[in-house]
Amino acid sequence: MKQQGKAYGFLGLDAGDAIADGRAFVKRYGWTWPSIADPQRILSRRFGANSQPAILLIDAQGRFVAGFQGRGTPARWNDLKRKLRSP
C-alpha cells in the first residue's frame, strides 16, 4: 500500500496466545496480511502494547512512530493517517 509515496503494510501480532490459536483466528477472519506469533509478549512489551487490540505505526527501521490501544475512534485513525503523511 502507499500513502503519499510512502510504502506501508499491515502485520498482525498475536500476543499471548498459543500459536495454533493465533493461526485459527487468522484463518477464521480471513486475514491476508502476515501475522507474527508473540506468545511470551516480547514484541508487545517492546512497543508498549499492553492490551488488545493495539494499533501501532512502526517505521522501516523498527521504531515506534505512533499508535493507540483499544477501539479506534475516528480521531485516532485520523492522527495515524497524518503521521503516515508527515515526512
Q: Per-residue pLDDT tens, the chain, 87 aa: give them.
A: 555 556 677 778 888 888 888 888 888 988 888 888 888 989 888 888 887 777 778 777 888 888 888 777 888 888 888 887 776
Q: Could you tell me if residue 27 is inside a domain?
A: yes
C-alpha cell at 87: 515526512
Angle subtended at Cα 24 by Cα 40 and Cα 14, rounded to the nearest 5 degrees: 30
Q: Could you tell me if residue 22 is inside a domain?
A: yes
- Tell me the C-alpha distance between 86 and 53, whole Å: 24
- Tell me the C-alpha distance between 37 and 19, whole Å: 6
Q: What is the pTM of this model?
A: 0.60
Q: Could you tell me if residue 65 is inside a domain?
A: yes
Q: Could you tell me if residue 1 is inside a domain?
A: no
CB atoms within 10 A of CB 41: 13
- Please give the residue range of the domain that contains residue 25: 7-85
The total domain count for the chain is: 1
- The CATH code of the domain that includes 76 is 3.40.30.10
Q: Could you tell me if residue 14 is inside a domain?
A: yes
